[in-house]
Amino acid sequence: MNAIKRLLGIVWIAIGIAAAYFLLIDQAIPKFETGKQEDLIPAIIYTFVLAPIIVGGLGIFGYYSLTGEYSDK
């Protein structure tokens, strides 16, 4: 079971990287490029609020899982 938890740590880190790509490349940058006021606010929220919370949370959870913090001792 501990091996599965460590393997899933890699999966969580990969999901965090994929979330960063989706939020920044697919969502925020196109909204920044339009230049409209109604698109600028969501782009700022995606970039400076949601991305650090989501990516940081998934990355830390994956790191702890990978290092064995959740192992049955």
Question: pLDDT (tens digit, 9 = 90+) per residue, 8-66?
Answer: 999 999 999 999 999 999 999 999 999 899 999 999 999 999 999 999 999 999 999 99
At 70, list the tokens.
């959740």
Domain residue limits, the chain: 2-67
At 24, list the tokens.
């920044």
Question: Up-side HSE of residue 8: CA atoms within 13 Å toward CB?
Answer: 12
pLDDT tens column, 27-43:
999 999 998 999 999 99
What pTM does this model have?
A: 0.84
